[in-house]
Structure 1
Amino acid sequence: MPPTAVSPTRRRLLLAPALAAALVLVGAAAACGGGDDAGAGDKRVQLSVFWWGGEKRAELTEQALRLYSSRHPEVTFKVTWQGNTGYYDKLATQAAGGNAPDLFQIDDNYLSEYTDRKVILDLTPYVADNRIDLSKFPSSLAQYGQVGGRTMAVAGAANTPAMVYNRTLLKNLGLPEPRIGMTYDELIAWGSRVTDRSRGRVAGTMDPSADYKALWLWLRSQDKDLYRGRQIGFTEDDLTRWFELWRRAHAAGATPDAATLRVANNGDVSRQLVATRKAATSFMWSNQLTELQKYTTDELGVVSYPGDPQAQWARASMYWAAFRGTRHPDVVVDVINFLVNDPEAGRILGTERGLSSNTEIRQLVQAGLTDERMKATAAFETAMVERFGPAPVPPPRGHPRVRALLITAAENVQAGRATPRQAAAEFIAQANAALAG
């Protein structure tokens, strides 16, 4: 049976009652001149879809949506996409005017905020009756779409924090590669050896003290968390210890100077130290390995962040969310289910947003990969699935501001402008204020 004839999971079985009724109602409204496309004929539904990304993402997403329309000719799509810069400004403007897209892309930086603003449709009832099937998702990935115990969005793809390292450099220096489960003390000792063996030309490791992901996982390995409701979930003493850890690492020669670190602290892929050969490691997301490889001729490898792998979880690289005010909630829900659970849609979308959230579709896509870096990313993510711990609650409103404050605090310590204690105290006060605002 060809792929387009396959009944993908339970979607086609569950389509009929609610979705068909919705389409009939819309068709009746259109016949009276009140539909989305007056004069376009009965049963006509046009959904607006908005996402960020490049041309390749647009091409693949539109191809998948055309596949949906080929199966449901009464449903068409009005698509809009742009780069990440300015995306949330535009989405906020649309939401404030009550004119948000029916279906849009969102990430964990803003999921709680848009839930609090009551912009997003609560998908919990649709998950409960399997109109959105999350049974093939890693449990922590399904959980990471929940805010306040309600499913507010569905992971469109997955990735996880990953430490990218320079395999070629290590081979030339005769040093071992980092391994899953190594402690931060072991990483620092290893990094000092890299610096020594390279005679200071390459620092052993990036100092990730400004990276909220690294701090978060370090805290989780100690049964703590980045947030506790609408407050910071750790103490001034905890953050002081984190900053002191990396100050000791610098004293041991494992990390670069402050000026070198500052270039990479904002996360720009092209400026990461593993790509510019300023350090043997960079702390990134797993799906960024392919992009990093474009900036160096050295072979790069990928491993988990140091610490207990159970501190990590399957993170949504992005979610699909529905507008609470959409006129066609049942149709939008069916499209979301199609995008994440249909095998043919999965083949079309591939790994552009990350690895498929549906583990069965992930296997299908993984079997057809030809890019060696993407193969490595997929293999790493697959190996980590069995090690993942439970997902935390998505970050609360104010998270982007907290991330910026952490970078400032860490850079003050890195440059010697503040002691770890001073930087930690100032951060805690400012971050809690940002979360309360």
Structure 2
Amino acid sequence: MMRKTLKRLAALGLTVAMAFSVVGCSSGNKETTAAGSTEAAGTESTGGEPVTIKITWWGGQGRHDYTQKLLDLYTESHPNIKFEAIPSGWDGYFDKLATQAASGSMPDLVQMDYLYITTYAKNNSLADLQQFIDDGTIDISKIDENLLNTGKISDKMNGLVLTSSYLSMGYNPEVMAEAGVSEPDSSWTWEDFISISKTIKEKTGKYGLSNGPVDDTNFFNYWVRQHGESLFSEDKKSLGYSDDKIYSDFIQMWVDQMKAGVVPNPDEYAAIQALGQEAGPVVTGDGTMLVEWNNYASKVSSVNDKIKMVTPPLQSDSDSKGLWMKPGMFFSVAETSKVKKEAAEFIDWFVNSEEANDIIMAERGTPVSSDIRDHMVNSGKLTEQQNAMFENVENALAFCGETPDPDPVGMSEVNEAFKNSAYSAFYGQITPEEAAAKFRKDADAILSRSN
């Protein structure tokens, strides 16, 4: 499926350009929306005329359910606005989106990730939302400027940031208690993580880390930053670190733990993935820890309200700050959309409305509006996990360096190259050192031709 995604993304620029030329030729005419209304293509508001907004997002069933409630609530106060909801899991989401973008049929409103926003922006698939900020449709006055600008690609606001997040470790405290190990705090090291994992395996037979450490490059990026280096060069045309030992040491650590049965091997992990997030080992108590974003405990609280979060392990011999505050996700509007203004109005409501956020309950991450964060904290409605998420943000800042630039064009290919090289080492087909050289060769080739 990933290879199909890459082919579609590679073809995106040409096909989308062709689609835009068709739209451009008819932009002076009236266009019919999915609801049958007519309006000029682009940014005109339809007033009280019926409008349908196609919206897509990824997530679990809990997110799907409450997002549908949000859409229904918005329609109650905006009777002319209807939604065509296209929910999805993470797997396959960007594969489908690439196909839609290439054919000019991308939904009007798209939940977008930091990994992919540059690719879609540079292929002209995403509208510039700055016009709606300038005219007051979207109020950004309560959003931190640095966080807001993470959605700006080549001076165009191609995504409105919805939440902030940072890389975390989720863990099941009951499994740790069963193994007789102390719960970690923000001072724990990689040595502590390995020791805890081995003890848990010995005492309970359960996994220490129960998800994949190389699903994408985020966890490795944390490791690279801990070594005082950057994952990518400043011009995004190559990897940014020069010493391949950084990569090989990272992979060797996981090879050793897989051999010890502390971490699932790729085949075991594939079976775990099939369970879905809310039925995963950490939630059910069949595993102990996993790499996630800091809203994980909140996301799964409806099925297990005991999960806790901690910042990832530290390098014992380094003071470099590996963490960064990441935009949790964005809402982007398709350049091909004929209801851009209506979509922008919904984004504003999603970000700044108390009634909307009383339903969202920070499930997508820490809200970007300072007013909404204050409202949530003072509302008394937050669960223990949600309160902890808000409080932990302040603690995590001590371990955060600068937020890196959005990932470069070709990021999905780089992620695949990273995973493929790592899996070759995990299966014993090549050494970690050979995997490091392979990843560098493949990643540099991808980056140099894409940026």
Q: TM-score range by the shorter chain?
A: 0.7 to 0.9
Q: Which amino acid aligns with 1:313?
A: W
Aligned ranges 1:369-380 → 2 under 5 Å: 369=381, 371-380=383-392
Q: What is the aligned counterpart of 2:420 among 375, 390, 408?
A: 408
Structure 2 equivalent of residue 237 of structure 1? 245
Aligned to 2:98, what secondary structure does the other structure show? helix
Deviation at 1:120, TM superposition (A): 0.5
In the alignment, the residues of structure 2 paired with residue 373 and residue 224 of structure 1 have an alpha-carbon distance, to the nearest angstrom, of 33
Quote how far apart the aligned CAs of 1:303 are. Answer: 0.3
| 1:343 Cα offset (Å) | 2.0
Which residue does the alignment assign to 2:21?
none
> Which residue matches 1:201?
205
Do structure 1's residue 185 and structure 2's residue 191 form an aligned pair? Answer: yes
Residue 182 of structure 2 is aligned to residue 171 of structure 1: no
Q: Compare 153-162 and 107-116 and name the one that shifted more.
A: 153-162
For each residue in 1:62-108, what CA deviation from the matched residue of structure 2 results, as whole angstroms up to 9, or x when unmatched?
Answer: 544455556555x5133221323544344334333334333222222
In structure 2, relative to structure 1, the CA distance for the partners of 1:137 and 1:221 (3 Å cut) is farther
SS at match of 1:430: helix
1:168 deviation in Å? 1.8
Distance of aligned partners of 1:243 and 1:370 in 2 relative to their CA distance in 1, 3 Å threshold: same
Is the 2:266–2:423 Cα contact (8 Å) retained in structure 1? no
Distance 1:56 1:165 in 2: 20
**2:90 is equivalent to residue 79 of structure 1:** no
Q: CA deviation at 1:334?
A: 2.9
Confirm or deny that 1:148 pairs with 2:148: no
- Decide whether aligned partners of structure 1 residues 292 and 415 sit closer, same or farther in structure 2, where only a CA change above 3 A counts: farther
State whether structure 2 residue 327 is matched by structure 1 residue 316. yes
Contact 1:108 1:395 in 2 (8 A): yes
Q: What is aligned with 2:114?
A: 108
From the superposition, tell whether residues 147 and 306 of structure 1 become closer, same or farther in structure 2 (CA, over 3 Å).
Answer: farther
> Residue in 2 aligned with 1:349?
360
- 1:213 aligned partner, one-letter code: N
Report the Cα offset of residue 359 of structure 1: 3.2
Distance 1:384 1:277, change over 3 A: same
Tell me if structure 2 keeps the 8 A contact 1:265–1:407. Answer: no
Residue 138 of structure 2, aligned match among 132, 136, 145: 132
Matched, 1:284 2:288: no
Please report how far the alpha carbon of residue 167 of structure 1 lies from its aligned counterpart in structure 2 after TM superposition: 1.2
Partners of 2:270 and 2:150 lie apart in 1 by 31
Distance 1:92 1:413, change over 3 A: closer
Contact 1:158 1:317 in 2 (8 A): yes
Measure the CA separation in 1 of the matches of 2:272 and 2:246. 21
Q: Provide the secondary structure at the position in 2 that maps to 1:231.
A: coil
Q: Which residue of 2 aligns with 1:22?
A: none
Instruction: State yes or no: 1:359 paired with 2:365.
Output: no
Distance 1:394 1:265 in 2: 30
Alignment partner of 1:429 out of 437, 441, 450: 441
User: What CA distance in whole angstroms lies between the structure 1 residues aligned with 2:156 and 2:37?
Assistant: 36
Q: Distance in 2 between matches of 1:409 and 1:417?
A: 10
> CA separation in 1, counterparts of 2:264 and 2:81?
54
**Quick check: 1:164–1:283 contact (8 Å CA) kept in 2?**
yes
How far apart are residue 338 of structure 1 and its match? 2.0
* Corresponding residue for residue 25 of structure 1: none
Who is 1:340 aligned against? 351
**Structure 1's 114 and 256: CA in aligned 2 closer, same or farther, altered over 3 A?**
closer
Q: Check 1:290–1:339 CA distance in 2 against 1; reply closer, same or farther (3 A cut).
A: closer
Query: Residue 255 of structure 1 aligns to which amino acid in structure 2?
Result: V
Q: Is the 8 Å Cα contact of residues 189 and 254 (structure 1) preserved in structure 2? A: no
Gaps of 5+ in 2: 1-26, 40-45
- TM-score w.r.t. structure 1 length? 0.76
Shift in CA distance, 54/81, structure 1 to aligned 2, threshold 3 Å: farther
Identity %: 23
Contact 2:212 2:269 in 1 (8 A): no
1:384-406 alpha-carbon deviations (Å, 9 max, x no partner): 35654332122223323332332
Q: CA RMSD in A?
A: 3.9
Supply the distance in 1 between the matched residues of 2:69 and 2:266 (Cα, whole angstroms).
45
Match of 1:8 in 2: none
User: CA offsets, 1:224-270, max 9 Å, x none?
Assistant: 2333314333343321232234456668x693463676447869536
2:6 alignment counterpart: none
Residue 169 of structure 2 aligns to a residue in which SS? strand
- Counterpart of 2:367 in 1: which secondary structure? coil
CA drift of 1:177 comes to 1.4
Confirm or deny that 1:306 pairs with 2:313. yes
Residues 1:123 and 2:135 aligned together: no
1:393 aligns with 2:405: yes
Give distance in 2, aligned partners of 1:247 and 1:42: 60
Task: State the alpha-carbon separation in 2 of the partners of residues 232 and 377 from structure 1.
Answer: 33
In structure 1, the gaps of 5 or more residues are 1-28
Output the CA distance in 2 between the equivalents of 1:56 and 1:194: 30
- Further displaced range: 262-271 or 210-219: 262-271
Give 1:223's aligned residue: 228
2:53–2:339 Cα contact (<8 Å) kept: no
- 1:117–1:260 CA distance, 2 compared to 1 (3 A): closer
Partner of 2:20: none
Q: What TM-score, normalized to structure 2?
A: 0.74
Which residue of structure 2 aligns with residue 11 of structure 1?
none
The residue type equivalent to 2:107 in the other structure is P
